[in-house]
Amino acid sequence: AGSRDGAHNALLMRDVSAGLHPGGTVTDRRLDRMLEALAVMHARFWGDDTVADPGHELADVETLLTMVWPQSWPLMESNPEGLGMVQKGWQALLDLVEPDVRRTIEDVMAHPGPLVDALEAEPATLLHGDYRLDNLAVMPDESVIAFDWQYAARGPAVMDLAWLVVSGGVLELHGW
């Protein structure tokens, strides 16, 4: 729950520590629950025009897509550890791919408009914006709690799915 009184804010959170991912490879059952919860949320808000209300202050597709791209790095300077991880990740990706793939990635990053337009043309729903293992709790009763909603957005459901798939431990589940 949250409350705002002028310049003062209060946040009340339920203890979800029993449902946090313990690390390592995620189990099939845990991943199934996370995917099911994501599908339920996306279905609930699929095509819901109220999600497009500017008063909700949701991120747009371009912001969500480019938030860790190199052109956004100056905005991350207040978090040097996080910025360092992002920079190392990008460098590792660019070092691993073939030169033609690297050029394509760099071209898309330099000119994201066509990708943003394609994503915005898809049916929209409410997005968590950072739907990954570290922001999810699968409780003992198997309910799923998503927290850390600062990147909530409106866009195609595939964007949340992509964040989950690249979470540490998910790809390893099937040996990817």
pLDDT, tens only, 93-114? 999 999 999 999 999 999 999 9
**Residue 171 CB: number of other CB atoms within 10 A?**
13
Higher pLDDT, 94 or 13: 94
Q: Which amino acid is at 78?
A: S
Q: What is the mean pLDDT of residues 151-167?
A: 92
Structural contact between residues 154 and 51, judged by C-beta atoms closer than 8 angstroms: yes
Task: Give the per-residue pLDDT at 10.
Answer: 85
Structural contact between residues 38 and 164, judged by C-beta atoms closer than 8 angstroms: yes
Task: Give the per-residue pLDDT at 170.
Answer: 76
Task: Give the per-residue pLDDT at 169.
Answer: 67
Structural contact between residues 42 and 157, judged by C-beta atoms closer than 8 angstroms: yes
Task: Give the per-residue pLDDT at 136.
Answer: 95
Measure CA 154 to chain center. Answer: 12
Three-state DSSP at 149 gives coil
Residue 18 has pLDDT above 70, yes or no: yes
**For the chain, percent of residues with pLDDT exceeding 90:** 71
Residue 137 has pLDDT above 80, yes or no: yes
**Residue 139 CB: number of other CB atoms within 10 A?**
14
Least confident of 7-11, 139-143, 148-152: 7-11
Query: How much is the pTM?
Result: 0.84
The token pair at 54 is 């500017």
- How confident is residue 173, by pLDDT bands cut at 50, 70 and 90? low
How far is Cα 70 from Cα 108, in angstroms, rounded to an integer?
12
Q: What is the mean pLDDT of residues 69-83?
A: 91
Task: Give the per-residue pLDDT at 3.
Answer: 85
Residue 174 has pLDDT above 60, yes or no: no
Residue 40 has pLDDT above 70, yes or no: yes
DSSP H stretches of helix in 12-71? 28-45, 61-66
Q: What rounded mean pLDDT belongs to the chain?
A: 91
